[in-house]
Amino acid sequence: MSHATPVESVAPPRPSGLDGLDFRVTELALQELFEQVDLQQIMPLLADCPTRILEPGEVLIEVGRPNHNMFLLLSGQLSIRLESAGSVPITFVVPGQSVGELSVIDHQPTSAYVVAELESRVLVIDEELLWILINSSHAVSSNLLYILVRRLRYGNEVIARDRERLEQYRFHATVDELTGLFNRHWLATMLPRLMHRAARQGDPLGLLMIDVDEFKQFNDRYGHLTGDQVIVGVAHRIRDGVRPMDMAVRYGGDEFLVILPGCRMADAGDVGQRLREAVAAPVVSHRGVALSPVTLSVGVTEMRPEDTVDAFIERADQALYQAKRSGRDTVVGRRPR
């Protein structure tokens, strides 16, 4: 019996030159960087460019790290994230687009995370080769300029959106969503400043504490949605019944505060009476029928120079309590001692 001599398996050599590239010309043709570029002329420059395979979730670029490569996405999908590699993406990168070019050009640490959303393949162009491509092809340099301009425009849009979002947060942090009046957070910030200014300048500062009488019974009878309408109606009457310089606050539930710069007790009491009378007409209807007017109890006080915020509000609250005990629908003043 003859025995065949085993033949050692040898892997075929990797083709050299352009035939051995890890990417296809058709993939390059989709790249924004190479739009209207004669690929046959630049292919020899790309012969040594490696490709990199990214697994889903793998971080390609990390904030704060130096980056010396521009990455062209050949397949898959990347995401751009700001706070961390696990934060919500602000945008996505699709095949044909690039990342990393800005940090290569300005030599600054990267400012965003680039994370693979899917299994992705990128072509790696290092800094030296990028400048060679720019200098050797007018079309490449023009395309890169377009990419950078678009990146800058998008960055400005993100900044504008963030600024708008910040303004919305600030607004909702200081304004009561239901009534549009200032809220407790605003009061805690601004009342100490207003009191300090009044004390420093020797100006009077009046304060009204207002409560809607028997509001719980009203709420129980007609429901919370109608109750909310009443709160809104009362808030609007209060806002429309004071000067532009006065500040109305929804203190909580059915309670309101009104800060009256320049007002002494007598003047503040007159404002309280005017507001009490303003809600004498119905402020809301239920199922097409105007409901009976609500009434207000009002406590009035004036700041003394040594008052703390708590003491100032507490004195107005005590005056309100006296108004409630006096039968409601009335205004009671409590002078500082």
Residue owning tokens 């697994």:
55
Closest CA to 193 of 285, 284, 259, 140: 259
Cα–Cα distance measured from residue 105 to residue 117, given in angstroms and rounded to the nearest whole number: 26
Cα–Cα distance measured from residue 83 to residue 190, given in angstroms and rounded to the nearest whole number: 32
- The single residue of 211, 246, 254, 307 carrying the catalytic annotation is 254
With beta carbons less than 8 A apart as the criterion, state whether 239 and 248 touch: yes
Diameter of the chain measured on Cα atoms:
127
Return all residues near 30 (Cβ < 8 A) that are at least 6 apart.
Answer: 95, 96
Cα–Cα distance measured from residue 228 to residue 212, given in angstroms and rounded to the nearest whole number: 12
Return all residues near 47 (Cβ < 8 A) that are at least 6 apart.
Answer: 17, 18, 21
Strand pairing of 51-54 and 120-126?
A: antiparallel
Question: In the annotation, is 48 catalytic?
Answer: no
Return all residues near 301 (Cβ < 8 A) that are at least 6 apart.
Answer: 206, 207, 265, 268, 312, 315, 316, 319, 333, 334, 335, 336
Cα–Cα distance measured from residue 336 to residue 22, given in angstroms and rounded to the nearest whole number: 85
Which of the residues are catalytic?
254
